[in-house]
Structure 1
Amino acid sequence: MKEPGRSATSTSYLWLYRTGTQGPPIVLYDYQTTRASKHPVRFLAEFKGYLHVDGYAGYHALKNVTLVGCWAHARRKFSEALKALPDSAKDSAVLAKEGLAYCNRLFKIEQDLKKSDASDKERYQTRLKLSEPIVEAFSAWLKKQAPRVLPKSALGRAIHYCRTQWDKLVAFLQDGRLELDNNRAERSIKPFVMGRKNWLFSNTPRGAVASSTIYSLIETAKENGLIPFQYLSYLFEQLPNLEDQTNETLDELLPWSSSLPDYCKLSSQS
């Protein structure tokens, strides 16, 4: 509401960064005034590796990363295209169902891998054997259908999305640690979105940054199996009594630390 050089009605953004399946789960929220690519470029300046993203083009400015797309977004667009079609559009409905079926087949393979508790290596090998042929067939289908549908129709937009995102969509085949979708991040942004509906605004940039910090701490605590209230209470007791706030002493207070007391852990309540 009160930001130098900006009106109270200006739209600001909260960027979400989080870890995948490797290492302790970490959820970080970063307040920024815009959606410009310079923000993730700055935040991820020292990061190298795979980065799961949605379809936002701004991520292309990042260096030393391999962008991994989201098949849930692709599937959703075909689902939306199917719902948007009138009953009379039988031919288009058939095509939308075909596109949706390709996506569903890929998700079925992932569900089976999860049920079997497959290792990263097994996931990689299974994807090459089962998923890659589906991906290749889907690519051929997209090329065939693109000139046959109206580009501005819901079905046309679904096909266009997949074709423009293709390099990112097929990246999951490169490594068994990768996921088929970006739903992990989608789930992590929901708590903030739901809270925003209640409090609507931050009064100052400092308040927005503080809110981002608190959300980061609470959501990371939840991801690590902690009880947020108990964990925050523990922090408020311990932090004022630290003689030296070094990286080593602060590490012992982080949500994934093995030094945390049992009463902070959700498992101790069951």
Structure 2
Amino acid sequence: MANWIIAASRDWLMPLVELMHKKLLQEKYIHADETTVQVMNEEGRKNTTDSYMWVYSTGQHCNYSIRIFEYQPGRSGKYPQEFLKGFNEYLHTDAYSGYNKIPGITRCLCWTHLRRNFVDALPKDVHSPEATIPSQGIAFCNKLFEIEKTLENLSMEQRKLEHLKQEKPV
């Protein structure tokens, strides 16, 4: 039965994934992120060695809803560089420097990742954390998220104009 799954994946699912990958690279915006995964009994590696699952996804307003997960043994920027070869539009990521290896893209950084850093910076022993500088950063991010919700149903061009008008002052 395992051989059937392997053969079906190779013969039927991989061509579909390859088509999805081709369509993904034709989009104007791609989101990417990576997270650690533990792989047991991987040849030549200890069970405690970090491996990575990379995810590449279209955005809410793209032509196709695509999400592709790709396993890699490391976190080097060579992995997204290879996966995104030929893509030269907007890449939405966290601030991980490995994405800088991808030529011809415009990096768009993630406010949610930035907000997480402000949350981590909140002092744990303060009675009024709302009066701290990290809480001000959190408030700015929350305001941007509120504005973004109001722009969901606009066209791409209208959203861009409203972003500049409403978010720039924040």
TM-score, length-normalised on structure 2?
0.68
Aligned length: 130
Matches within 5 A, 1:124-203: 124-134=160-170
> Given residue 53 of structure 1, which amino acid in structure 2 is its aligned partner?
T
Q: Deviations over 1:39-94 (max 9, x none)?
A: 11111111110011112111011101011111011222223333x43135x58833
**What's the Cα RMSD here?**
2.0
CA distance in structure 1 between the partners assigned to 2:111 and 2:100 by the alignment: 18
SS of corresponding position for 1:18: strand
Specify the alignment match of 2:132 in structure 1. 94
Specify the alignment match of 2:18 in structure 1. none
SS of corresponding position for 1:67: strand
Specify the alignment match of 2:16 in structure 1. none
Q: Does 1:53 align with 2:89?
A: no
SS of corresponding position for 1:47: coil
SS of corresponding position for 1:12: strand
Larger Rg: 1
Specify the alignment match of 1:33 in structure 2. 73
Cα pair distance change 1:62/1:45, threshold 3 Å:
same
CA distance in structure 2 between the partners assigned to 1:61 and 1:119 by the alignment: 31
Specify the alignment match of 2:150 in structure 1. 112
5+ residue gaps, structure 1:
135-270
Cα pair distance change 1:129/1:46, threshold 3 Å:
same
Counterpart contact for 2:81–2:101, Cα < 8 Å: yes
TM-score, length-normalised on structure 1?
0.44
Q: Which has the larger strand fraction?
A: 2
* Bigger relative contact order, structure 1 or 2 (CA pairs below 8 A, ≥6 apart): 1
Aligned mate of 1:77, from 117, 127, 147? 117
Counterpart contact for 2:130–2:136, Cα < 8 Å: no
CA distance in structure 2 between the partners assigned to 1:3 and 1:96 by the alignment: 41
CA distance in structure 2 between the partners assigned to 1:121 and 1:37 by the alignment: 31
CA distance in structure 2 between the partners assigned to 1:9 and 1:76 by the alignment: 26
Shift of 1:108: 1.4
CA distance in structure 1 between the partners assigned to 2:67 and 2:111 by the alignment: 22
Cα pair distance change 1:44/1:96, threshold 3 Å:
same
Counterpart contact for 2:91–2:106, Cα < 8 Å: yes
Identity %: 39
Specify the alignment match of 2:32 in structure 1. none
